[in-house]
Structures are given as structure tokens and as C-alpha cells.
Amino acid sequence: MMTYSHDFIPFSIKNQPEGRVIQAVLEAALQAVDPRRAVEQYLQRIGQTLTVAGQGYSLAEYRRVFLVGVGKASVAMAQAVAAILGDSLYKGVIITKNLPEEMPSELGRVEVCRGSHPIPTEESLRSTQRVLDLLEEVEPADLVLCVFSGGGSPLLTRPVQGASLKEIQQLTSELLTCGATIQEMNAIRKHLDQVKGGKLLKAVHGARVITLILSDVIGNPLEIVASGPTVPDPSTFADALRVIQKFDLESRVPVSIQSILQKGVDGHLEETLKPGDPVFNRTQTVLVGSNYQAAQAAAAEASAHGLQALLLTTYLRGEARQTGDMLAALARQIEATNQPLARPACIIAGGETTVTLRGNGRGGRNQEVALGAVEGMAGLKNTCLVTLATDGEDGPTDAAGALVSGSTLRRAQGMGLDALDYLRRNDAYHFFEQIGDLLKTGPTGTNVNDLNFIFAL
């Protein structure tokens, strides 16, 4: 069903029995958050009744059904919705980052547009206009189904009056590198945009709105995924301005942007839509997939293969290399005393780490987690750490992650590669490329953030 390459297990373990177990566990994780399956779990149709997470809607009561989708998984999510709705789907527009090579036939009535990620461009603006053009047609008696997934914020973008695209681009690029959390980043984005922070609801003319969310954010705060176009926003203009101050961005963010936020603080601009706003009486929002579901499925698959499995956390964050070293500390304890689990064991830890750029190498946070674990894993037997960006795209590379085993350091030394030096230059991609231990799934069509797996077999 999913279109990624199933031939992603690195060469070094591919033809070994453990390679097959590892492949099975990783595939189970990805399949569990296949956007299509995720949607189908929460959206069913029997005759004229559409059931959304247990709540029933009679399609006969609605004039038409519209579909809006944004995010890296929107093609697959839209495909599932279109298949379920069949002829009842009137029209739709979705915005995604990667267009599929072959457009799924279910999407005949759905226009598929492209936007830019992580910095919005004119393309994002044009595609957003297509969404708004569609919603122009919506009437109060219609039903609007929304599917939102990770990466949506720069895809669905319509700056407020007074903020130019160029200014938003400059702002975004500062926010991406200053160390702000996604919550902090989105507090600002929402207050400079006409369709984020619940404000897309202003364009639906009072129609009922059902939103399905595939979350790529730690802890699954629904208002954060794709900047919550249809979800109540607790953040304020004051919060947004505080983020600028917290990261000392006053001199790096355009003055016009800051003065918009200040005008908002002074009460001269409309806030985002807040919890309790009556508009939300006509909305339902459902989390259909998350890092946790993927991690759980991986644990179940590991158990099915006779491994002891432990879901450690889905809240990992912090510096990537440190996370790698910490995971290696767990692997070492298994080797030393069979704790926290006896072999054969699999520990699963999900979340989203960050990389503080020091060098100008190539890599992504998942590859850097792996590189950060090379020294700590050295010498361990039948043990490896596998890192995986569930969207298949780790940083600006064609890899999803990498594999580190107890022999990685030795093999690297044999090839004259200094792991520490590659780490210093944030060049994990070239390290693992030469070792032959990159994971290359290609774009998976889903996006529930990152997963790390310790296998002690």
C-alpha cells in the first residue's frame, strides 16, 4: 500500500537473520501509520452514514462534501477519504510537498497542489489561494473534511496584511535556526497568517468541519500540527512577541513583522480563534495517527519475533548526538547485565531531536543520532541502533536514518574514517554512506516524526 522502498535495510545486515527481524519491526512501525490505514481506522461509511471516531453524520443531511488537505501525508490521507466517500465527495484541494509520480485514481475530484517546505514560497501562496477558492463555494449546509499532517505550516500560508512573503521567509529561516520549539515557532506563524490558528474556519461560511490529524509533533498537541487551521489556538500575540525577545531576534526579524505583533498586543488586530469560541461547536477534530501508534506497532512486531520489547518513550527531544549517546548507554547495560531487558531485546524510543549546526556537512537529525552513538556502541556484540525518520526524509538528504552496530567504529577506523571528525562537521550522511549503513526508504507518504530502535539480538 505504501510506496516506499522495502529494500531499505543496510547492506551490512541485509542477508543476515537479524536483518529480516529489523526490517519487519521497522515496516510494522511504518505500516501502522500508513495515512490511509490511519484514516480508515477513524472514518467509516455505511450507506449514508459517515462515522468519525464513533460520531455519526448522515450524509443525506449535508448538501455537498468538500475536502481540504495539507501536509506531507495529505495525498495518502486524501486518497483514503476519497475512497471512503466515493461519489459523495464533491470537490477537494490538497497541498503537499512531494507529488506522487502517479496520481492515485481516487483523487480525480481532488486538485493536488504543491507547496514549499520548510520555507514557504510563492508556490505555497498560490496553492493556498486554490484552497480558499474552493472554500468560496462552500455554503452553510455543506460538510468540509480536513486532513492535516506534519509539514503543513509552510504549505498553507497566507500572510496577514502588512507582512510580505519575503518577510515571512526571513522570519521562518531565523526561527528554524534559533532553537525555538515548534510551539514557539507556530505561536508566531499563527499571528502573522490569515488561515492558521483556527482562522481557516472563517472561510467556510458556517459549514460543519471535520478534521483528521496525523501528528508529527511530540505529545500530539492538535493545535500545532500544520499550525492548526481549524483548531482552537491558546497562544496570543503577546506569546509571539515574547518568542522574538527570548531568542534575541529583534535585530534579525523584519521590523514590520514585529510591529504587527505589537499592534496585536495593543489590541488593534484580531486574535487567533480561542478555545470556547462558538465556531468550534460545529467542528470535530480527531487524531488518527501518531508516533505512539508506530512505536506500539514496532513493539508488538518485535514481540511477535520473540524479542523482549520496551516502548521507552515517545517524548524524546534534545540534541541529536546526545540522544544517540544516551541510547548507547542503554545498549551497554543490556550487554553488561541484561537490563533493562534480557536479550533478545528491542527498545523503542520516539520523538524529535534537534541538531545544533557546527559544521557544513550533510545529514539529518536521525543520521546524527546514529553518529552520536558510534563511540558508545563500540564493541557491543549482536547489538545495533537504527534511526528512522518516518517520512523517509531525514534532513535535506535521500536517507531516512542510519544503522550503528558494535563494529561500526572498528570498520570506520579500518577505512580511515574518524567518526568524531564527521560529527564535528555535522557530516553524518557521508560517514554512513561510506560505511554502507544508510537507510534509504524514499518518501514514505507518512510523517509521525522519528523513531529509534535498539536491537540486542
CB 142 within 8 A of CB 65: yes
Binding status of residue 330 toward a copy of itself by CB under 8 A: yes
Binding status of residue 286 toward a copy of itself by CB under 8 A: no
Window contacting a copy of itself (CB under 8 A); options: 72-80, 133-141, 262-270, 333-341: 333-341
Alpha carbons 372 and 7: distance in angstroms, whole number:
25
Reply yes or no: is the peptide bond before residue 118 cis, omega within 30 of 0.
Answer: yes
- 3-state SS class at 21: helix
Within 13 Å of residue 271, how many CA atoms lie on the same side as its CB?
A: 16
Alpha carbons 71 and 407: distance in angstroms, whole number:
39
Alpha-carbon distances of 350 from 214, 217, 353, rounded to whole Å: 15, 11, 9
Residue among 109, 104, 79 nearest 92 (CA):
109
Give the number of other CB atoms < 10 A from CB of residue 96.
27
Binding status of residue 396 toward a copy of itself by CB under 8 A: no
Window contacting a copy of itself (CB under 8 A); options: 27-35, 72-80, 317-325, 393-401: 317-325
Binding status of residue 333 toward a copy of itself by CB under 8 A: yes
Nearer to a copy of itself, 91 or 332 (CB): 332
Binding status of residue 312 toward a copy of itself by CB under 8 A: yes
Convert residues 212-241 into a mask of x (bound to a copy of itself by CB under 8 A) and - (unbound): -------x----------------------
Among 104, 197, 351, 406, binds a copy of itself (CB under 8 A): 351
Among 314, 383, 397, 447, binds a copy of itself (CB under 8 A): 314
- 3-state SS class at 405: strand
Binding status of residue 406 toward a copy of itself by CB under 8 A: no
Window contacting a copy of itself (CB under 8 A); options: 116-124, 127-135, 251-259, 331-339: 331-339
Binding status of residue 292 toward a copy of itself by CB under 8 A: yes
Among 16, 315, 359, 413, binds a copy of itself (CB under 8 A): 315
List Cβ neighbours of 261 (8 Å cut-off, separation of 6 or more). Answer: 188, 191, 192, 237, 240, 241, 244
Binding site for a copy of itself (CB under 8 A): 219, 292, 310-319, 322-323, 325-326, 328-330, 332-333, 336-337, 339-340, 351, 376
